[in-house]
Amino acid sequence: MGKLDLNRRKFLGALSLGTAHLMFHNPLYGATGRFTSVDPLQRVVLGKTGIKPTLLGVGTGISGGNRSSFLTRQDRAKSIATLRYAYDRGIRMFDSADTYGTHGLVAEALKGMEREEIVLTSKIWTREGGIPEPERPDANIVVDRFRKELNTDYIDVVQLHCMVDAEWTDHERRQMDILEDLKVKGVIRAHGTSVHSLEAMIAGVNDPWVDVLHARINPFGIAMDRHDPAEVVGVIHQMHSSGRGVIGMKLVGNGDLRNESEKMDKALRFVLGLGSVDMMIVGFESEAQIDDYLDRMERALKELS
């Protein structure tokens, strides 16, 4: 067994023992060579989809729900300026969802940009609550609305949002089949899910329909599908090794660690070092936060290399 595999095994063993924090100064060695450079804006590939976002993407769902989020509640001009600044700095992936209400903001911010340079993702809400209307139209109707709101002919990734049920792949099969048809037609490029339980994540691993997974991951077990990161990491490794794309979210525990600089750095080293998370999204409230994360990620990548 090579050094890479041995070190990964040791690290996961430390996770299982609850002693991973002792290794943060020397993160997962298995990440060596995972990324092509120390540039946080390098292009990466989401599994077998051929979609190439930047390593760092923008999440627009800060405190999101019922078609509202931080970006929709603050001054609109400021939110658009923040999204444009992310683009100007080189970020080329923007993540939305119906529950965030941010499609219009993203469309306005990216007006005039080269569409082919940008990766746009969004998510369909099929559960109760979450959006104002009680109706849940089929995915083709919802995606058509998304495209109009985003002012785009196609959407790179459309996911089923916030799956929690271990049987969601049975309950949502009709919508999954519709999304597959939209992919064949070129209306979307890939489909998948964001999950909010380990059982739902495991169901996604076991269903080849999932092209791309949004996974909550950080080393502290905050706002995750299990408090013990080892359980989540094991499933993420399975998803990635089977050729699916993995997008990391909740790196700072849904914002809980935003003012704890050392823990932010540890979280970045941890997630980048796993070797099975293709990219990460962060919800930015200001231009300064974008600069800060880019600096932190570059330092983390240098340490891992």
Contact in structure between 98 and 67 (CB atoms under 8 Å):
yes
Per the structure, the complete domain to which residue 82 belongs is given by 34-304
The model's pTM: 0.90
Q: Is residue 64 part of a domain?
A: yes
Average pLDDT over residues 211-224: 95
Average pLDDT over residues 269-287: 95
**CA gap 228, 233 in Å, rounded:** 9
| Confidence at residue 18, expressed as pLDDT on a 0 to 100 scale | 43
Mean pLDDT computed over every residue of the chain:
90
Average pLDDT over residues 169-186: 98
Q: Is residue 132 part of a domain?
A: yes
Tally of domains in the chain: 1
Q: Is residue 6 part of a domain?
A: no
| Confidence at residue 11, expressed as pLDDT on a 0 to 100 scale | 54
Query: Is residue 50 scored above 50 in pLDDT?
Result: yes
Give the helix, strand, coil percentages of the chain, each rounded to 5: 45, 15, 40
| Confidence at residue 65, expressed as pLDDT on a 0 to 100 scale | 94
| Confidence at residue 36, expressed as pLDDT on a 0 to 100 scale | 81
Pinpoint the alpha helices (H) of the chain.
3-16, 70-73, 76-89, 103-109, 139-150, 168-171, 173-185, 198-205, 229-241, 261-273, 287-304
What is the domain-level CATH number for residue 259? 3.20.20.100
Average pLDDT over residues 70-85: 97
Q: Is residue 1 part of a domain?
A: no
| Confidence at residue 181, expressed as pLDDT on a 0 to 100 scale | 98
| Confidence at residue 254, expressed as pLDDT on a 0 to 100 scale | 83
How many C-beta atoms surround the C-beta of residue 256 within 10 A?
A: 14
Q: Is residue 170 part of a domain?
A: yes
Average pLDDT over residues 12-38: 52
The backbone region for 244, taken as left when phi is positive above 0, alpha when psi lies in -120 to 50, beta otherwise, is beta
Average pLDDT over residues 287-295: 97
pLDDT in tens, 92-151: 999 999 999 999 999 999 999 999 999 999 999 999 999 999 999 999 999 999 999 999
Q: Is residue 29 part of a domain?
A: no
Q: Is residue 5 part of a domain?
A: no
Q: DSSP string covering 105-134, please?
A: HHHHHTTTS-GGG-EEEEEE--SSSSSS-S
**CA gap 254, 290 in Å, rounded:** 16
Query: Is residue 17 scored above 60 in pLDDT?
Result: no
Query: Is residue 214 scored above 80 in pLDDT?
Result: yes
For residue 259, the one-letter residue type is N
**CA gap 232, 305 in Å, rounded:** 24
Q: Is residue 176 part of a domain?
A: yes
Average pLDDT over residues 213-241: 94
